């Protein structure tokens, strides 16, 4: 038996765990690092959120979330982005009334 080997292994795992959580804390996983000004088909979008510059993220962005949970980073001030946000607001409103049932509410999460 090698008790010190076990202890060293344990310390090593502990260290790796600590280091990883520090790295994750510094760079939030869901930060957009760049945006793409490419229009998104409205039927694939289920949600959106705003990424504010300086609150843990380097750039400002609007983040659309697809029905499958994919995030799409776009510029926050484009007209088409504002239109799409309005569309998502409407969709959420409708789905709330429908109790999130039906095909068009797939992926739309209760607020
Ligand atoms: C972004 O895309 C829209 C729609 O295609 C276009 O009208 C607009 O000029 C673009 N903006 C930039 C900064 O390229």
Nearest CA to ligand 1 atom 12: 37
Which two structure tokens, joined as six digits, stand for 110?
A: 């209760």
Q: What's the 78 CA to ligand 1 centre distance in angstroms?
A: 7
> Are 16 and 52 found together in one domain?
no
Task: Quote the longest CA-to-CA distance of the chain.
Answer: 68
**Residues within 6 Å of ligand 1 by CB:** 37, 39, 78, 80
For residue 80, the CA-to-ligand 1 centroid distance in Å is 8
Give dist(CA 48, CA 42) in Å, integer.
Answer: 12
CATH code, domain carrying 55? 2.40.50.40
Closest to 71 in 3D by CA, of 57, 96, 79: 57
Q: What is the CA radius of gyration of the chain?
A: 21
Q: Which residue's CA is the nearest one to ligand 1's atom 9?
A: 78
Residue 7 shares a structural domain with residue 19? yes
Query: Considering its fold, how many domains does the chain have in total?
Result: 2
pLDDT for residue 71: 95
- Per-10-residue mean pLDDT, the chain, length 111: 58 47 52 96 97 94 96 97 98 97 93 78
Both 38 and 24 in a single domain?
no
- Give me the phi and psi of 72, to 5 degrees please: -130, 120
Domain that holds residue 102: 31-111
* Cross-strand bridge partners of residue 18: none
- pTM comes to 0.74
């Amino acid at each position: 038996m090698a008790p010190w080997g076990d202890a060293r292994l344990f310390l090593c795992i502990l260290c790796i765990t600590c280091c990883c959580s520090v790295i994750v804390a510094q760079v939030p996983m869901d930060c957009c690092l760049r945006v793409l000004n490419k229009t998104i088909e409205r039927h694939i979008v289920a949600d959106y959120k705003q990424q504010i510059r300086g609150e843990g993220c380097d750039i400002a962005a609007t983040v659309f979330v697809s029905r499958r949970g994919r995030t799409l980073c776009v510029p926050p001030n484009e007209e088409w982005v504002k239109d799409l946000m309005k569309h998502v607001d409407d969709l959420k409103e409708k789905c709330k009334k429908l109790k999130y049932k039906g095909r068009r509410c797939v992926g739309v999460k209760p607020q």
